[in-house]
C-alpha cells in the first residue's frame, strides 16, 4: 500500500522483506555472549565494558545487515532474469554409471549411453550453442547428430563411467511476430505429412478423451483466429489448474485426463493437458523439454512447455505454467521437442556377464554468465479513474486503455504493482491484434480506516510483462462521498459489455448536465448529449436512452446528433445514458448530487465561558457546507463582521472582541446566505459569555437599563 497523507506527518519506509525470526536468533545469541563476558569483570570496569559492548553490538548489526542486504540484492537480480531480451548461460549435463561385478570372472563388452537432451541451436537463431565440450572418463567413442549424443565404451575396465555435455548458450526471447490472422480451424489436408504426427492422441496426451474434447470446444467456440484459440486454451490451463508440487514425487508423470479430473499438476502436467485440448481441435502441438529460471526454487530447473504449429509461420511457443502465450522468455533453454511427452533423457545399452549396472541420476546445472538488455515496452497504456475524490471504504472503477501500435500480435500480461489496498485479483491477460486498441476494467478498494480532517492520495500503477507502465493518483477523504461496490460493479459490467460490440469503438457518446449539484425543490434537470459516428459505416436505428426514456436516431458517416433529456430530481446517482443497436453499445455516466439544502453548518465553535470586562479575546468557529454557497453575511447582534462572495468546503473564522461587548446582553451569530440558484437561507447560533470585573458605574447603568426595558 502506498499512501501519501496530507495534513499530518507520516514516515513509512519499507525496502526489504527479511526473516525476522532469524534476526532475533542472531541478536539474542550475540547479546547473551556479551553479557556472559561482562559478568567476569568487576564494577570498576563496567563503564568501559558497556562502551565495548555497544561498539561490538553495533558492528554486529552492520555486519548482519550487509549480509541480508547482499542476499536480497542477489535474489532480486536472479528474479529479473526473466525480463531480459537475452542471456548467456553455461550448461552442464552429465552423470556417471557405476559397474558392480558380482563375481571375479565378470565380462562387460560395449556400454552405450545415448543422451537425447542437450541445448539445440535453433533455426531462428534465438538459441545458439558456443564453446561446446563433450567429454567422458574413461575416454569413450563419441558420435553426435541432431537428436542425440552417443558415448560408447568398448570393454571398459574402470568401475565408473562418466559422461558430460558442456556448452555456453546464447539464448534470446522466443517471440515470433505473427502479423496476420491465421484461420481456425486449420484445414487438415493442407498440413505437411511430418506435421500431422503432432495431432495424434497417445498414452499421456489424451486428445480423444470426450471431456477434453468438450472443454476445448467450449473454450474455442466462436473464434476463427488460431492465435486467439491457442491463447485462450493456454490461459484456461493457467487459470484453472493448480500448480502443485505433490506430483513431483510421482513415479510417472500424469496423463492429461488425470490432470483435468484432479485440477493440479506441475509444468509437465499443465503442458500435456493444454496439448491434448489443442490436438483435439486439429492444432498440431508438440512437447518441449528444457530448463528455465523459476522463482519457486530461485534458480534454473527442469521445465516443460509447448509449441503449436501456425501455417505460414511455423512453431510458436506457449508456456501455460508461466503464463507466457505466444512467446517464452530468454531463460527458456530448449533441449528437445517431440510428439510424445514421455521420453527418456538418456538411454543405456550394454552386453555383460555377472555385472550389475547402476546409473546415477542425470544432473543438469545452469549458470548465468551474462545478461542482455531489459525487454523493450511494446504497448501504450493509460489508466483512467472513473471515480475520484471519494470516501474511505469506496470502490473505484478503473479503466485501462491498451494500445498495440505494432504490426504484430502482442500477448498482454498486466499486473497491479501499486494500489491503496492489497488487490488479490490483480492480473489482466488478453491478446491484442496488430494495431488494436482495447479497454479493460477492474475495481480497486479504498482503505476504510482513515482519519477525519485529512486528504489522502495513493498511486494506482500497472505494469505489463514487457515493461509498459501507467499510473494514476486517487484522492480520498472522509469528507468526500462514498462510492459503493455495487455501483462500481454495475459501471464496470456496462462498460465491459460495450467493448464486445463490433462498432462501439467507432462511436463517441458525450453527455453533460449543466451542473453537478441539484436541490429537490428544482424537481427536474436537463441533460445534453452529443453522439458522433467516427467510423465508415452508417449507424441506423440507434436507441439513445436515459433509463426508460429512449429516442431512436440514425447517424450517417462522420456526422453527429444532439439529443436533450429531462430527468426527475430525486436522489444522488449516476445518470446512465446508453446508445445501442445490434452492433453498437456505448455508455455515458453523468454523476448528479441531490440535496435538500446546501447544509451549511457551524462546527467547533470555541470561546471562553467567562471573560473580564476589559479583556481582549476571540471567538473561533468553522463553517462547513455540502454544496457551494454565495453571498454569505456573518453578523453578531446585527453587527456585520464578514461578507463572503463564494464559499465551499470548510474554513475557520476568528472574531476578536472585548469582554465589555457581551456584558448584559444575549448575543448570537447570524449567517445569511444563498445557494447557487439564489434561494435564501438563514442560520443562527447563540453566544453565552459571562462577563466579570465590571466597573461599578457600568453595573448601575445596566440595572437602570434593565428596569427601563421591563417597563
Residue 592: pLDDT band with limits 50, 70, 90: very high
Q: Find out if CATH 3.40.50.300 is the number for domain 601-710.
A: no
- The pLDDT tens digits of the residues spanning 464-482 come to 999 999 999 999 999 899 9
Identify the residue with better confidence: 13 or 153: 153
Phi-psi region of 523 (alpha: psi -120 to 50; beta: other; left: phi over 0): left
Q: Is the separation of the CB atoms in 351 and 430 below 8 Å?
A: no
DSSP string, 346-406: EEEEEEEESEEEEEPPPEEEEEEEEE-PBPPP--EEEEEESS-SB-TT-EEEEEEEEE--S
pTM (2 decimals)? Answer: 0.78
Residue 29 has pLDDT above 50, yes or no: no
Q: How confident is the model at residue 294 (pLDDT cuts 50, 70, 90)?
A: confident
CA nearest neighbour of 687 among 710, 661, 707: 661
Class at the top of the CATH hierarchy for domain 86-173+346-371: mainly beta
Highest mean pLDDT among 78-87, 275-284, 472-481, 541-550: 275-284
Measured distance CA(266)–CA(246) in Å, rounded: 8
Predicted confidence band of residue 709 (pLDDT cuts 50, 70, 90): low
How many angstroms from the chain centroid is the CA of residue 175?
Answer: 23
pLDDT of residue 45: 55
In tens, the pLDDT along 334-380 reads 999 999 988 889 999 999 999 999 999 999 999 999 999 999 999 99
**pLDDT computed for residue 131 by the predictor:** 86
- Domain ranges (residues) in the chain: 3-82, 86-173+346-371, 203-328, 376-496, 501-596, 601-710
pLDDT value for 9: 28
Q: Is the pLDDT of residue 78 over 50?
A: no
Instruction: Specify which residues 445 forms β-bridges with.
Output: 395
Residues 566 and 525: beta-carbon distance below 8 Å? yes
- Separation CA 390–CA 312 (nearest Å): 52
Fold agreement (86-173+346-371, 203-328): no
Q: Which residue has the cell 496488430?
A: 434
CA angle (672, 677, 682) in 5-degree steps: 20
pLDDT at 504: 81
Within 8 A by CB and 6+ apart from 150, the residues are 112, 113, 114, 115, 142, 143, 144
The answer, yes or no, to whether residue 16 has pLDDT greater than 80, is no
* Predicted local confidence at residue 146, as pLDDT: 87
Q: Which helix (H) or strand (E) holds 30?
A: helix 20-39
CATH code for the domain defined by 501-596: 2.60.40.10
Please give the pLDDT value at position 412: 97
Span 157-179, mean pLDDT? Answer: 96
C-alpha cell at 678: 439564489
In this structure, which CATH number among 3.10.620.30, 3.40.50.1820, 1.10.3080.10, 1.20.1070.10 belongs to the domain 203-328? 3.10.620.30
The pLDDT tens digits of the residues spanning 603-650 come to 889 999 999 999 999 999 999 999 999 999 999 998 999 999 999 988
* Grid cell of 71 as nine digits: 542476499
Mean pLDDT of the chain: 87
Q: How far is residue 320's CA from residue 260's CA, in Å, rounded to a whole number?
A: 14
Rounded distance between C-alpha atoms, residue 86 and residue 89, angstroms: 10
CATH number of 376-496: 2.60.40.10
Q: Where do the DSSP E strands lie in 420-548?
A: 427-432, 437-445, 455-464, 469-476, 507-512, 517-519, 524-533, 539-546
The pLDDT score that the predictor gives to residue 108 is 92
Give the model's pLDDT for residue 247. 52
Q: How many residues does the chain have?
A: 711
* pLDDT value for 156: 94
Lowest mean pLDDT segment, chosen from 228-232, 282-286, 544-548, 706-710: 706-710
Amino acid at each position: 500500500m502506498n499512501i501519501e497523507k496530507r495534513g499530518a506527518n507520516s514516515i513509512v519506509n519499507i525496502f526489504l522483506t527479511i526473516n525476522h525470526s532469524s534476526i532475533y536468533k542472531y541478536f539474542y545469541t550475540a547479546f547473551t555472549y556479551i553479557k556472559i563476558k561482562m559478568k567476569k569483570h568487576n564494577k570498576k570496569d563496567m563503564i568501559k565494558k558497556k562502551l565495548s559492548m555497544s561498539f561490538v553490538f553495533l558492528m554486529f548489526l552492520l555486519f548482519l545487515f550487509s549480509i541480508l542486504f547482499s542476499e536480497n540484492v542477489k535474489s532480486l537480480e536472479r528474479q529479473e532474469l526473466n525480463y531480459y531480451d537475452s542471456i548467456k548461460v553455461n550448461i552442464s549435463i552429465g552423470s556417471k554409471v557405476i559397474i558392480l561385478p558380482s563375481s571375479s570372472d565378470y565380462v562387460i563388452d560395449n556400454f552405450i549411453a545415448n543422451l537425447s537432451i542437450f541445448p539445440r541451436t535453433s533455426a531462428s537463431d534465438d538459441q545458439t550453442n558456443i564453446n561446446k565440450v563433450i567429454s567422458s572418463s574413461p575416454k569413450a567413442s563419441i558420435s553426435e547428430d541432431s537428436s542425440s549424443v552417443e558415448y560408447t565404451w568398448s570393454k571398459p575396465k574402470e568401475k565408473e563411467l562418466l559422461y558430460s555435455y558442456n556448452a555456453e548458450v546464447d539464448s534470446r526471447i522466443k517471440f515470433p511476430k505473427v502479423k496476420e490472422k491465421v484461420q481456425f480451424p486449420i484445414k487438415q489436408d493442407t498440413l505437411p505429412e511430418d506435421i500431422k504426427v503432432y495431432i495424434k492422441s497417445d498414452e499421456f496426451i489424451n486428445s480423444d478423451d470426450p471431456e477434453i474434447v468438450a472443454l476445448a470446444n467450449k473454450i474455442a467456440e466462436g473464434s476463427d483466429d488460431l492465435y486467439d484459440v491457442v491463447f485462450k486454451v493456454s490461459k484456461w490451463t493457467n487459470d484453472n489448474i493448480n500448480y502443485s508440487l505433490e506430483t513431483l514425487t510421482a513415479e510417472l508423470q500424469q496423463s492429461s485426463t488425470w490432470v483435468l479430473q484432479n485440477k493440479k499438476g506441475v509444468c509437465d502436467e499443465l503442458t500435456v493437458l493444454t496439448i491434448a485440448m489443442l490436438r483435439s481441435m486439429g492444432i498440431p502441438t508438440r512437447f518441449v523439454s528444457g530448463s528455465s529460471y523459476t522463482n519457486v526454487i530461485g534458480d534454473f530447473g527442469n521445465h516443460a512447455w509447448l509449441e503449436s504449429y501456425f501455417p505460414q509461420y511455423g512453431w510458436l511457443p506457449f508456456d501455460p505454467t508461466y503464463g507466457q502465450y505466444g512467446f517464452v522468455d530468454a531463460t527458456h533453454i530448449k533441449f528437445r521437442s517431440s510428439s510424445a511427452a514421455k521420453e527418456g533423457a538418456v538411454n543405456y545399452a550394454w552386453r555383460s556377464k555377472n555385472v550389475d549396472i547402476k546409473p546415477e541420476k542425470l544432473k543438469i546445472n545452469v549458470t548465468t554468465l551474462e545478461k542482455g538488455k531489459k525487454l523493450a515496452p511494446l504497448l501504450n497504456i493509460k489508466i483512467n479513474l472513473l471515480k475520484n475524490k471519494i470516501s474511505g471504504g469506496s470502490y473505484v472503477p478503473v479503466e485501462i486503455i491498451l494500445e498495440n501500435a505494432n504490426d504484430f500480435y502482442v500477448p498482454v500480461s498486466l499486473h497491479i504493482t501499486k494500489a491503496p489496498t492489497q488487490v488479490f485479483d490483480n492480473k489482466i491477460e488478453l491478446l491484442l491484434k496488430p494495431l488494436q486498441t482495447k479497454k479493460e476494467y477492474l475495481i480497486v478498494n479504498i482503505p476504510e480506516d482513515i482519519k477525519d480532517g485529512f486528504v489522502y492520495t495513493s498511486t494506482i500503477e500497472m505494469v505489463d510483462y514487457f515493461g509498459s507502465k501507467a499510473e494514476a493518483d486517487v484522492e480520498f477523504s472522509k469528507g468526500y462521498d462514498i462510492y459503493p461496490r455495487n455501483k462500481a460493479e454495475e459501471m464496470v459490467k456496462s462498460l465491459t459489455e460495450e467493448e464486445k460490440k463490433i462498432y462501439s469503438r467507432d462511436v463517441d457518446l458525450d453527455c453533460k448536465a449543466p451542473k453537478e449539484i441539484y436541490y429537490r425543490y428544482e424537481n427536474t434537470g436537463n441533460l445534453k448529449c452529443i453522439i458522433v459516428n467516427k467510423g465508415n459505416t452508417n449507424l441506423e436505428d440507434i436507441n439513445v436512452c436515459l433509463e426508460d426514456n429512449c429516442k431512436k436516431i440514425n447517424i450517417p458517416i462522420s456526422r453527429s446528433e444532439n439529443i436533450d433529456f429531462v430527468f426527475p430530481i430525486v436522489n444522488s446517482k449516476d445518470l446512465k445514458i446508453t446508445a445501442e443497436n445490434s452492433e453498437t453499445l456505448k455508455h455515458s455516466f453523468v454523476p448528479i448530487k441531490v440535496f435538500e439544502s446546501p447544509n451549511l453548518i457551524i462546527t467547533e465553535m470555541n470561546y471562553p465561558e467567562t471573560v473580564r470586562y476589559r479583556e481582549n479575546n476571540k471567538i473561533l468557529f468553522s463553517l462547513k457546507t455540502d454544496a457551494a454557497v454565495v453571498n454569505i453575511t456573518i453578523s453578531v447582534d446585527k453587527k456585520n463582521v464578514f461578507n463572503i462572495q463564494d464559499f465551499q468546503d470548510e474554513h475557520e473564522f476568528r472574531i476578536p472582541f472585548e469582554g465589555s461587548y457581551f456584558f448584559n446582553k444575549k448575543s448570537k451569530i447570524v449567517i445569511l446566505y444563498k445557494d447557487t440558484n439564489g434561494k435564501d437561507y438563514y442560520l443562527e447560533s447563540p453566544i453565552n459569555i459571562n462577563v466579570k470585573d465590571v466597573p461599578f458605574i457600568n453595573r448601575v447603568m445596566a440595572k437602570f437599563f434593565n428596569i427601563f426595558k421591563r417597563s
